[in-house]
Structure 1
Amino acid sequence: MSSIPVIDFRKYGLHIEKADSIPRQDLKELGDQMCEALQNIGFFERSIGNVKKFFSQPLEEKEKCAKPDEGYDGWIGLEKEKLNLERPVGDYKETYNITQICEVWPTNIPEFETVLMDFLRKCIELALRVFDFISVGLNLEDKNFFRNCHKLIGQRGNVTALN
């Protein structure tokens, strides 16, 4: 596939207040498109302006938001995480983890918390809706199958994170 497919979520977007009001056929159409994209592409990516602001700051500013050893939320610097255990050093990346109970925020970017928490909530709601039409796209009888499997998403004790 030479390009990333565009899937029009308007029929099941976040502007629709009652998710149950969407006809099953519309879910089927979205489910088929999403399953096709997941099979051929496998990922979706977005960038956020506030994240760019945060990561473009000097190291001293980012360190003020460092993830505590006992916590999950906050900034994690270069080579602090090691996702590939076969590499001798940590990953050459930095990240900023947030959960719905995040308490570590930069004070010099006032809109950072509001924007990212809103984005996280919308991602969770969109993920739940994506689960619905993937269920239908897979011809499962219960359109809520995957939604029910992930009903703790975003709840305390379930580390759903945006990073």
Structure 2
Amino acid sequence: MLSRARVVASRASFRTSVASRSLATAFNSNVDTSGIPIVDFANFGSLSFDQRRETARQVVDGFKNVGFVYLGNHGISDRIVQEAFKKSDEFFRLPLEKKQALAWEDPRSNRGYVQQGRERVTTSQDEAEIARLRASAPDYKETMEIGRDWDSRWKNMWPQESDVPGFKTFMLDFFQICHELHVRVMRAIALGLDLQENFFQEKINGQDHNLRLLNYPAVKTDLLRKDGQARAGAHTDYGSLTLLFQDSVGGLQVQNPTTKQFAPAPPIPGTIVINAADLLACWSNDVLRSTLHRVVAPPSQPVNEFEAVTPKRQSIAFFCNPNFDAEISCLPHCFGPGNPKKYDPVTTEEYIVRRLRETYM
């Protein structure tokens, strides 16, 4: 269970470096990040405006050039991240009937358990095409979706306390910790775009986010080699930002915006992968990129001379969204002569609910 003392300690650590050793290793390693920059976020807590602005510039440049950054010294301790993976694993080990009792029901709610094969992420918005992809090449993953717990319309779906002790308490605290990091990154984005640092504050304070626990079960590697098959197909995310926590297995690939080739984004200890999503791209008139990415099979493990198994993988995605009633329209400084507005205004809820309806059965 994540105690209040630990939550307070984690929030306080936003002002200090909690992963300096891991981040130093990342900077000095030979890890190929496929052009995704590693940004040390510690200086964004500085009293020096110049240091905050330089960090903000690095974050924004990463989203402009690649759509992704690795964020180090982000303030969420490794201990809390590992506890999140532990609780997630405990949930997915429950019998299927107990998980199905919490089944996802409505895209407006976007809460509950999604069994393997029900979602097929894709860039397509054609219902027939999505149905074909789901039937021929389903995503090999199961998920648990958690939203803000005080919502008056939509309720989270929790396992029994006796089945996964401490699950609800921990996940609600983790949700809040992730929201607070999201707020700080959005402050950096505002500063990096030459806006007032608190520009987004009233547009993101509703916490209309989605905490997604993902489990990619071990699967025969041959099944992942079918045409169009992946653990999660190529897609962009729907909201403003995604905070992605990876385990050590790997499999995330990001499309290079120039070559259009997919390249690995390997796990780097002490960092979170953060990507810009569709609504941030709309907000910024594509100044900030919502980049295609997918999850593919990491190296397989041989079972015998004829078969191999791709190992189990866990990840946790915190899908950051603007307030559901916020109108997303082009930001200042992101349009002008020779650079017209590309997108009509849309509310967060309109866009996200439409995309969820398209991708779920």
Shorter-normalised TM-score: what interval? 0.7 to 0.9
Q: Secondary structure at the match of 2:202?
A: helix
Counterpart of 2:118 (choices 60, 80, 92) is 80
Matched, 1:97 2:145: yes
CA distance in 1, matches of 2:146, 2:70: 19
Aligned to 1:111: 166
Q: Is the 1:27–1:137 contact (alpha carbons within 8 Å) kept by the matching residues of 2?
A: no
Q: Is the 1:73–1:97 contact (alpha carbons within 8 Å) kept by the matching residues of 2?
A: yes
Q: Is the 1:65–1:105 contact (alpha carbons within 8 Å) kept by the matching residues of 2?
A: yes
What is the Cα deviation at residue 127 of structure 1?
A: 0.7
Structure 2: state its 5+ residue gaps: 1-30, 72-80, 150-154, 213-361
The count of corresponding residues between Structure 1 and Structure 2 is 150
CA distance in 2, matches of 1:72, 1:135: 28
Q: Aligned letter for 2:50?
A: Q
**Residues 37 and 78 (structure 1 numbering): CA distance in 2 closer, same or farther, change over 3 Å?**
same
**Residues 83 and 52 (structure 1 numbering): CA distance in 2 closer, same or farther, change over 3 Å?**
same
Q: Which has the higher contact order (CA 8 A, sep 6+)?
A: 1
Structure 1: state its 5+ residue gaps: 14-20
More strand by share: 2
Counterpart of 1:25 (choices 50, 55, 65) is 50
Aligned to 1:40: 66
What is the Cα deviation at residue 68 of structure 1?
A: 4.2
Q: Is the 1:27–1:132 contact (alpha carbons within 8 Å) kept by the matching residues of 2?
A: no
Q: Aligned letter for 1:62?
A: K
Aligned to 2:93: 56
**Residues 147 and 104 (structure 1 numbering): CA distance in 2 closer, same or farther, change over 3 Å?**
same
Aligned to 1:18: none
Matched, 1:151 2:197: no
CA distance in 2, matches of 1:147, 1:59: 40
Q: Secondary structure at the match of 1:48?
A: helix
Aligned to 1:10: 42
What is the Cα deviation at residue 147 of structure 1?
A: 2.7
**Residues 115 and 11 (structure 1 numbering): CA distance in 2 closer, same or farther, change over 3 Å?**
farther
What is the Cα deviation at residue 33 of structure 1?
A: 2.1
What is the Cα deviation at residue 41 of structure 1?
A: 5.2
Q: Aligned letter for 2:147?
A: T
Q: Secondary structure at the match of 1:148?
A: helix
Q: Aligned letter for 1:160?
A: H
**Residues 75 and 22 (structure 1 numbering): CA distance in 2 closer, same or farther, change over 3 Å?**
farther
More helix by share: 1
> Which of these two proteins has the greater Rg computed from alpha carbons?
2
What is the Cα deviation at residue 28 of structure 1?
A: 0.9
CA distance in 2, matches of 1:42, 1:95: 23
TM-score by length of 2: 0.36
**Residues 7 and 56 (structure 1 numbering): CA distance in 2 closer, same or farther, change over 3 Å?**
farther
For each residue in 1:10-35, what CA deviation from the matched residue of structure 2 results, as whole angstroms up to 9, or x when unmatched?
3446xxxxxxx844223212212212
Q: Secondary structure at the match of 1:162?
A: strand
**Identity percentage over the alignment?**
29
**Residues 110 and 22 (structure 1 numbering): CA distance in 2 closer, same or farther, change over 3 Å?**
farther
Q: Secondary structure at the match of 1:96?
A: strand
Q: Secondary structure at the match of 2:210?
A: coil
Aligned to 1:122: 177
